[in-house]
């Protein structure tokens, strides 16, 4: 699984559910705050195919409103129920291009869906929007043998700081490869349990 690291002390949230990564044949678990219900699954996706290296690029100001409606339609058309959607600023490292790219993305909560259904939905999104990967996470009980990653959140992080951290730490960049920042500056990093010391 690929995500990004920030060189700072990160607060690991209490692990309440597990998630399984889609389209990459790897698994991940996500820690959730106690007060938040965990959806059956989550999809992290974008409609962007451009390499954006300038944090002031106007394409990073899009609200992805139409994309939000379209993905909700895909979720519903494939037998699941769309839940909340959150706009995020992503920073991802490309091994092929050897550079970090900025990306405006959305995270979608998905209800009434199993592993295969979630992977199918991700495949439809990836094909329709010409994406190399669409990340999916499936919520499972904390004690599930499939639990293998946690969600780490840290306040006070900008996309530019996240990108700088990626560029400065080749080991973290190679292992975690990307992450997301909420519009209010909260890092969301999903890291395999095996990479917790690195995270």
Q: What is the mean pLDDT of the chain?
A: 80
Query: pTM for this one?
Result: 0.78
Residue with tokens 């399984």: 20
| pLDDT tens-digit series, residues 97-141 | 888 899 999 999 999 999 899 999 999 999 999 998 898 888 777
pLDDT value, residue 144: 81
Q: Which residue has the higher pLDDT, 123 or 95?
A: 123
3-state secondary structure string, 15-52? CCEEECCCCCCCCEEECCCCCCCCCCEEEEECCCCCCE
- Please give the average per-residue pLDDT across 31-51, as a whole number: 76
DSSP state of 14: P
State the Cα angle at 10 between 57 and 22, rounded to 5°.
Answer: 65
| pLDDT tens-digit series, residues 133-186 | 898 888 777 688 887 877 788 999 999 999 998 899 998 888 888 899 999 999
- Please give the average per-residue pLDDT across 42-68, as a whole number: 95
Per-residue pLDDT at 25 exceeds 60: no
Q: 36 falls in which pLDDT band (50, 70, 90)?
A: low
Q: Where are the domains of the chain?
A: 11-195
Nearest one of 107, 134, 109 to 49, comparing CA atoms: 134
Per-residue pLDDT at 195 exceeds 90: no
Tell me the β-bridge partners of 137.
42
């Amino acid at each position: 699984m690929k995500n990004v690291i920030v060189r700072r002390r990160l607060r690991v949230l209490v692990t309440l559910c597990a998630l399984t990564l889609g389209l990459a044949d790897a698994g991940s678990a996500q820690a959730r705050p106690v007060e938040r219900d965990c959806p059956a699954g989550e999809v992290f996706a974008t409609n962007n195919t451009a390499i954006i290296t300038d944090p002031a690029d106007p394409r990073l100001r899009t609200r992805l409103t139409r994309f939000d409606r379209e993905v909700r339609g895909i979720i519903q058309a494939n037998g699941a129920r769309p839940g909340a959607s959150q706009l995020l600023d992503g920073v991802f490292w490309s091994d092929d291009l050897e550079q970090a790219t900025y990306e405006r993305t959305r995270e979608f909560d998905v209800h009434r869906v199993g592993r295969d259904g979630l992977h199918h939905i991700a495949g439809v999104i990836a094909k329709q929007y010409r994406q190399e990967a669409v990340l999916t996470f499936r919520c499972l009980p904390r004690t599930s043998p499939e639990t293998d990653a946690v969600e780490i959140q840290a306040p006070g992080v900008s996309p530019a700081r996240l990108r700088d951290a990626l560029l400065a730490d080749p080991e973290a960049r190679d292992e975690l490869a990307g992450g997301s920042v909420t519009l209010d500056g909260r890092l969301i990093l999903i890291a395999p349990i095996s990479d917790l010391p690195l995270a």
